[in-house]
Amino acid sequence: MPSFDIASKVDLQTLDNSINTVKKEIANRFDFRDSPVSIDLDKKAYVVKLEVESDMKMKQVIDVLISRAMKQGIDATAFNFDKDAYPSGKVVKKEVPVRNGLAQEDAKKIVKLIKDSGLKVQAAIMDDIVRVTGKKIDDLQEVIAKCNAANLGLPLQYTNMKS
């Protein structure tokens, strides 16, 4: 029976490469000369820690981070910018979590979307992925199209396609 998985994962090496590219670009920019800038990646917690001089520079670093990550193939929605930056002494700090894996409520939204579509497929939540099985590959491709059109605000990948 044909099946595939819907996942939302970020490759750690690609993320690390994009962070290193951001560090190099910020180090070479004229407007960041002689100002304290720290960009670190916590690889275990999937959190990018930013530390800059002002809110304006924080916005510039975030713009560079998003553009470099997109050039490396990481979706911009993988970064969660909900938390506000907070002042700490002479610098402004911000922690940006990177979404890695589907949260339970996001997986439930995807399953509901698939069930409401009326296609003859089954969707099951397995840890941080959603496995979709059906009798026809065409139905599975229609599920992929519906998930892309739904604009769930998540970077989705469709992996492990078996026929």
48-73 pLDDT tens trace: 999 999 999 999 999 999 999 999 99
Is residue 152 very low, low, confident or very high in pLDDT (cuts 50, 70, 90)?
A: confident
Number of CB atoms found within 10 A of residue 12's CB: 14
Which pTM value belongs to this model? 0.84
CATH number of 12-97: 3.30.70.990
Interval 97-118 mean pLDDT = 91
Comparing CA positions, the residue from 77, 156, 162 lying closest to residue 109 is 156
**pLDDT value of position 127:** 86
- Which residues of the chain form CATH 3.30.70.860? 3-8+101-162
CA 68-41-39 angle, 5° bins: 65
- Measured CA to CA, the distance from residue 78 to residue 97 in angstroms comes to 9
Extended strands (E) in 27-141: 38-42, 47-52, 86-88, 91-97, 121-126, 129-134
Is residue 33 very low, low, confident or very high in pLDDT (cuts 50, 70, 90)?
A: confident
* 3-8+101-162: in CATH 3.30.70.860: yes
CA 28 to chain centre: 27
